[in-house]
């Protein structure tokens, strides 16, 4: 199997999970109600756990230790989509991003459960329950607020319009797209995006929200290390303690 | 009334014509839902606690992380607090079924009701079974013979099965990775050795 292609795939998925996990964890202690604070924090913890498992797979392929990879790389070495690094904004914005991102992520892992690269297939099967809850959580919230009142609907709509081109950027094709598909490691971004569109439409059509055009231009770059200025600031904060003494034991 | 998009303004209830009578505004707060969990498939469901939520579906989403984020879980359900029928709570180990009247109202149509018993103060209500009846009072009277001779039941809850939102069979995978999350349990943090070593090192520096 093409190891470079597998590494590239693992890095982009792991970086997505780590960065959105960190962003979502910024809501801890500040969620809209106690119950949601705990639920959102818990899911952020799941995501960081998933990124750890993926960095461990990379380590097995000869990459550095998970902590080094997570905390010591520079922004331009990260392969996450720009959607995941955007600052949290208000809760409607974070919730909408959670919905757009997790829908894509759960479809991605559904296909990865059949990957010819068996360590990844095993991991995908293991975490399918976590992802099921994450999408259940997102869908329930979106249906609730997307039908509630003028304020909630207008707020969600504004967030949706703003985030949509970034969400389309999740599916930025990789240079290894064809290899991954040929070797049956990964079904490819096009297929994921197709399923994502269907799933997003199914949920949004059950609300008052209007779906932006799927053909609007996507914001690409993240998968190639091009990021917004927000990622550098996020990484500085995330790795602040680790960088003081990378050899410290906990 | 002038509606503002800022809920804090609306809560002040400022009217254009302050002399008019207005209704007292309800608290800006969600209703409550009771949460029951099952730790393993062979175990009975037990009452776990309460969440605030705007709907059954939202209550379920919250309940999962409030009450099943540690140890193991194989099932969960929620029911709106007002849909639970509650008997009196007895004193001195008297079985509450001994106080149940055999007369009951016969209105309503046959539906299934779930029974939960409190056997010890300070413990949780446990699911003990279900019964078909035309209303909760009839269900309680019908259950009387079955539970009169057993261990004293201090308090019983009765819930119409159709008022309950259960986890579906296919969604039970949401608890699959719980056993891996030992870091959420206090028992995973074995600090005593470190504390001992630290105290020793403090002593030697004195």
- Please report the domains of chain A, with CATH numbers, ordered by start residue: 3-244 (1.20.1260.10)
Position A233 scores a pLDDT of 97
Judging contacts by C-beta atoms under 8 Å, the chain A residues touching residue B53 are: 35
Closest-CA residue of A relative to B175 is A129
What confidence tens digit (pLDDT) does each residue in B42-65 have? Answer: 999 999 999 999 999 999 999 999
- Mark yes or no for CB contact A132/B171 under 8 Å: yes
Structure tokens at A160: 């949706």
Q: What is the model's pTM?
A: 0.89
Question: What average pLDDT does range A146-167 have in this prediction?
Answer: 97
ipTM: 0.91
Q: How many CA atoms lie within 13 A of B178 on its CB side?
A: 19
Neighbours of A80 (CB within 10 A): 25
Position A46 scores a pLDDT of 96
- Average pLDDT over chain A, rounded to whole? 96
d(CA B69, CA A42): 8
Which of A105-109, B20-24, B146-150 has the largest mean confidence?
A105-109
**B1 has a pLDDT exceeding 60:** no
Structure tokens at B201: 């090192």
Position B47 scores a pLDDT of 97
Position B192 scores a pLDDT of 84
Angle, vertex CA B21, rays to CA B23 and CA B28, nearest 5? 25
Query: Of the candidates A126, A141, A151, which has its C-beta nearest B5's C-beta?
Result: A151
| Angstroms from B88 CA to nearest CA on chain A | 30
Position B122 scores a pLDDT of 92
**B2 has a pLDDT exceeding 70:** no
- Between residues A11 and B13, the one the model is more confident about: A11
> How many A-B residue pairs are in contact by the CB < 8 A criterion?
60
Position A249 scores a pLDDT of 76
d(CA A159, CA A157): 5
- Residue written as tokens 């290894």? A176
Whether A130 has its CB under 8 Å from any CB of chain B: the answer is: yes
Judging contacts by C-beta atoms under 8 Å, the chain B residues touching residue A129 are: 173-177
**B5 has a pLDDT exceeding 80:** no
Question: What average pLDDT does range A219-238 have in this prediction?
Answer: 97
| Residue B13 pLDDT grade (very low, low, confident, very high; cuts 50, 70, 90) | low
Position B120 scores a pLDDT of 93
Is the Cα dihedral A141, A142, A147, A148 positive or negative? positive
Beta-carbon contacts of residue B71 (< 8 Å; ≥ 6 apart): B39, B178, B185
What confidence tens digit (pLDDT) does each residue in A62-107 have? Answer: 999 999 999 999 999 999 999 999 999 999 999 999 999 999 999 9
**A115 has a pLDDT exceeding 90:** yes
- Between residues B3 and A36, the one the model is more confident about: A36
Question: What average pLDDT does range B8-17 have in this prediction?
Answer: 66
The full set of domain ranges for chain B reads 28-167
**B103 has a pLDDT exceeding 90:** no
- Residue written as tokens 């409030």? B66
């Amino acid at each position: 199997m093409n190891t470079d292609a597998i590494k590239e795939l693992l890095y982009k998925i792991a970086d997505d999970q780590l960065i959105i996990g960190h962003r979502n964890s910024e809501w801890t202690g500040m969620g809209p109600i106690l119950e949601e604070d705990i639920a959102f924090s818990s899911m952020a913890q799941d995501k960081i756990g998933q990124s750890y498992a993926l960095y461990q797979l990379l380590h097995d392929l000869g990459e550095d230790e998970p902590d080094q990879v997570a905390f010591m790389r520079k922004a331009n070495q990260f392969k996450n989509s720009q959607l995941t690094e955007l600052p949290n904004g208000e809760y409607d914005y974070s919730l909408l991003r959670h919905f757009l991102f997790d829908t894509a992520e759960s479809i991605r892992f559904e296909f990865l459960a059949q990957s010819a690269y068996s360590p990844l297939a095993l991991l995908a099967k293991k975490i399918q329950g976590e992802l099921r809850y994450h999408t259940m959580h997102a869908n329930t919230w979106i249906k609730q607020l997307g039908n509630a009142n003028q304020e909630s609907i207008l707020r969600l709509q504004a967030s949706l319009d703003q985030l949509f081109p970034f969400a389309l950027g999740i599916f930025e094709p990789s240079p290894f797209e064809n290899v991954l598909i040929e070797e049956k490691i990964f079904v490819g971004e096009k297929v994921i995006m197709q399923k994502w569109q269907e799933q997003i439409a199914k949920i949004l059509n059950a609300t008052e929200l209007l779906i932006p055009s799927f053909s609007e231009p996507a914001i690409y770059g993240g998968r190639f290390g091009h990021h917004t200025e927000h990622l550098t600031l996020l990484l500085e904060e995330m790795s602040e303690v680790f960088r003081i003494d990378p050899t410290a034991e906990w | 009334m002038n509606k503002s998009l800022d809920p804090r303004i609306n809560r002040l209830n400022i009217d254009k014509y302050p002399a008019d009578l207005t209704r007292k505004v309800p608290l800006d707060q969600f209703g409550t839902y009771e949460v029951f969990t099952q730790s393993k498939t062979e175990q009975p469901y037990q009452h776990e606690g309460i969440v605030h939520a705007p709907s059954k579906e939202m209550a379920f989403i919250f309940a999962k992380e409030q009450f099943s984020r540690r140890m193991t879980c194989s099932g969960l359900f929620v029911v709106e607090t007002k849909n639970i029928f509650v008997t009196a709570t007895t004193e001195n180990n008297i079985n509450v079924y001994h106080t149940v009247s055999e007369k009951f109202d016969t209105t309503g149509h046959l539906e299934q009701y779930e029974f939960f018993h409190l056997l010890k103060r300070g413990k949780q209500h446990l699911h003990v079974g279900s019964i078909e009846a035309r209303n909760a009072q009839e269900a309680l009277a019908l259950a009387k013979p079955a539970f009169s001779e057993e261990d004293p039941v201090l308090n019983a809850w009765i819930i119409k099965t159709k008022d309950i939102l259960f986890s579906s069979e296919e969604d039970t995978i949401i608890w699959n990775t719980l056993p891996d999350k030992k870091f959420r349990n206090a028992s995973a943090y074995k600090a005593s050795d470190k504390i001992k070593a630290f105290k020793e090192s403090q002593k030697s520096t004195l």
